[in-house]
Amino acid sequence: MPSTRPMARIDDTARPRLAPHVRMRFDAARGQHALLSPETVWVVNDTGAAIVELCDGRRTVAEIQADLQSRYAHVADGDVHRFLADLVTKHGMEVHRG
């Protein structure tokens, strides 16, 4: 029985932050960032790490996307939403509305 639930929906006005049991660190042995939780390690690329760093529960998704797009030319509309929706679905990220 799959443990996943339906993909979460992420609105522009949502304010994401890491779930309380998750933290990010740079993994020097492998040269990449990792999100650590009790049973899982999620490897994230540099763009993903930049997104997570902005997820402080205050900034909105729209603000995070604008910030990323000002720094990285390759970030398309919807990339941030998809990245966050995946993490929310896996219980790695929480979103606060309004």
Partner 1 sequence: MDRPFALLAELTYACPLHCPYCSNPLALDEYRDELTTEEWQRVLAEAAELGVLQLHLSGGEPLQRHDIVELVQCANQLGMYTNLITSGLGFSTRRAEQLRDAGLDHVQVSVQADEQALSDRIAGTTSFERKLVVARLVKKLGWPLTLNVVLHRLNIDRIGGILDMADDLGADRIELANTQYYGWAGPNRAELLPSRDQLERAQSVVRASRERLGDRMEIIYVIPDYYSRYPKPCMDGWARRQLTVAPNGDALPCPVAQDLVRGLELPRASVREHALEWIWAESPLFTRFRGDEWMPDPCRSCERRGIDFGGCRCQAFALTGDAARTDPVCHLSADHELVAAAVAAANDSTRPPGALIPRPHPRSLATAVGVGA
Residues that bind partner 1 (CB under 8 A): 1, 3, 5, 19-21, 23, 25, 27, 29-30, 34, 36-39, 41, 91
| Rounded Cα–Cα distance for residues 89 and 84 (Å) | 8
**How near is the Cβ of 51 to partner 1 at its closest, in Å?**
20
Nearer to partner 1, 39 or 77 (CB): 39
Bridge partners, 25 (sequence order): 34
Contact call for residues 9 and 85 (beta carbons, < 8 A): yes
Contact call for residues 83 and 51 (beta carbons, < 8 A): yes
**How near is the Cβ of 54 to partner 1 at its closest, in Å?**
22
Nearer to partner 1, 19 or 79 (CB): 19
